[in-house]
Amino acid sequence: MHINQQQREGFYEVLFGRRDVRREFLPDAIPDEVLQRILLAAHHAPSVGFMQPWDFIVVKDVHTRRAIKQGFEQANDESAAMFDGERKEAYQQLKLEGIEEAPLGICITCDRQRTGNVVLGKTIKPEMDLYSAVCAAQNLWLSARAENIGVGWVSILHDQVLREALKIPANLEIIGYFCLGYVKAFQQTPDLERYGWQSRRDPKQAIHYEQWGNQQAD
């Protein structure tokens, strides 16, 4: 199927309009048909050996989300202590999650044994299954944006908190916990850039030609 100019423009609006949302969540429920579209899109991520190692745990219960929030607060205090001086103060000013404000959370896991011990494409790089599950996360994030739903990836959280709150078996890896909800607005600029934490790298610096370090196109 040929993608035309109009479809491509729609795609890029979604891609460049995606943000990591923490403070703009609205409490409005996400209709089940919208949630199912987002999860189906995540399920259509690429995966090594077509092993589709991901699972999605959908969390709406307020008590569960409160327990996860408490886990975040503890992990965030530990994290703040790793920064010094002004940087520590700046860190503590940032809002880094919307676990209780967003009406819905999704935990993505990875089953590294799915389809057996020897998996096509994972024979040389064993981390490929984890990377497949991350591709599902990025599909989920972009699809949510296409549905005008904000997503925030909460990584300041010990796996054990999610494992206990969501009864995740010990043999599964935890990729991440994502907050989803409609938003007051999508910001134009990432929060960490807007608040002066870190600036965007010049894309030219990220591109090399033929060999590492050669940044002039021929």
Residue closer to a copy of itself by CB (options 25, 54) is 54
Among residue numbers 9 through 48, which ones bind a copy of itself (CB under 8 A)?
9-18, 20, 32, 37, 39-41, 43-46, 48
Among 28, 62, 83, 113, binds a copy of itself (CB under 8 A): 83
Among 24, 30, 49, 180, binds a copy of itself (CB under 8 A): 49
Minimum distance of a copy of itself from residue 163's CB (angstroms): 9
Is position 216 an interface residue for a copy of itself (rule: CB under 8 A)?
no
Count the alpha carbons within 13 Å of 140 in the hemisphere toward its beta carbon.
31
If 0-12 CB within 10 Å is exposed, 13-18 middle and 19+ buried, where does residue 71 land?
Answer: buried
Residue closer to a copy of itself by CB (options 14, 23) is 14
* DSSP character at residue 3: P
Among residue numbers 104 through 123, which ones bind a copy of itself (CB under 8 A)?
109, 115, 118, 120-123
Angle at 68 between CA 64 and CA 70, to 5 degrees: 115
If binding means CB under 8 A, how many residues of this protein chain bind a copy of itself?
Answer: 104
Residue closer to a copy of itself by CB (options 35, 101) is 35
Separation between Cα atoms, residue 64 and residue 200, nearest integer Å: 35
Burial string for 81-97 (b: 16+ CB within 10 Å, else e) reads eeeeeeeeeebeeeebb
Site string for a copy of itself, 132-161 (x = CB under 8 A): --xx-xxx-xxx-xxxx----x-xxxxx--
Tokens of 141: 């994030």
